Amino acid sequence: MVKWLFKQEPSDYSYDDLAAEGKTIWEGVNNPLAKQYLRQVQSGDQILFYHTGKEKAIVGIMAATEAAKSDPNDEKAVIVSVKPVEKLKQPLTLARIKQEPKLANWELVRLARLSVMPITKEQWSILKSILEEA
């Protein structure tokens, strides 16, 4: 099982919106690299939900309920069905993530505009440790 991070502006769609709806289709990814990553998502993959904008923080965990597929309305677009798993008790801010030297090369830190990115096992372990501190 692979781990991912998906970004979204909370005024457009927040983790609370997802929790209220129980599921959603993740769509609207246009960046070629983000789209390439999105195509790799498989059913059961865990996904960190990151609020962009003023918050700049990981706020929850989702899971892919199906593998990525082409959007039936636009063959060039990629979609993934997701469901909420858990809202974090305390958001994990980008500022806190940037304090970890071992996360300095992660796309979240290096490529601010990338909306979908993988999380390595080492990165996931570090993130879990930070969350357990809170």
∠ CA(32), CA(38), CA(40), 5° rounding? Answer: 115
Give SS3 for 66. Answer: coil
How far apart (Å, rounded) are the C-alpha atoms in residues 68 and 39? 5
Is this model's pTM higher than 0.85 or not?
yes
The tens digit of pLDDT for each residue in 88-111 reads 999 999 999 999 999 999 999 999
What is the torsion angle, in degrees rounded to the nearest 10, for the CA atoms of residue 92, residue 95, residue 97 and residue 99? -140
DSSP at 103: G
How far is residue 54 from each of residues 8, 11, 93, 94, 95, measured CA to CA in Å? Answer: 12, 10, 11, 11, 12
Give me the pLDDT at residue 125, please: 95
Strand runs (DSSP E) across 39-123, as ranges?
46-51, 57-64, 69-71, 74-93, 116-119
Domains annotated on the chain, with CATH? 3-133 (3.10.590.10)
pLDDT tens profile 16-72: 999 999 999 999 999 999 999 999 999 999 999 999 999 999 999 999 999 999 999
pLDDT at 23: 98
pLDDT at residue 119 greater than cutoff 90:
yes
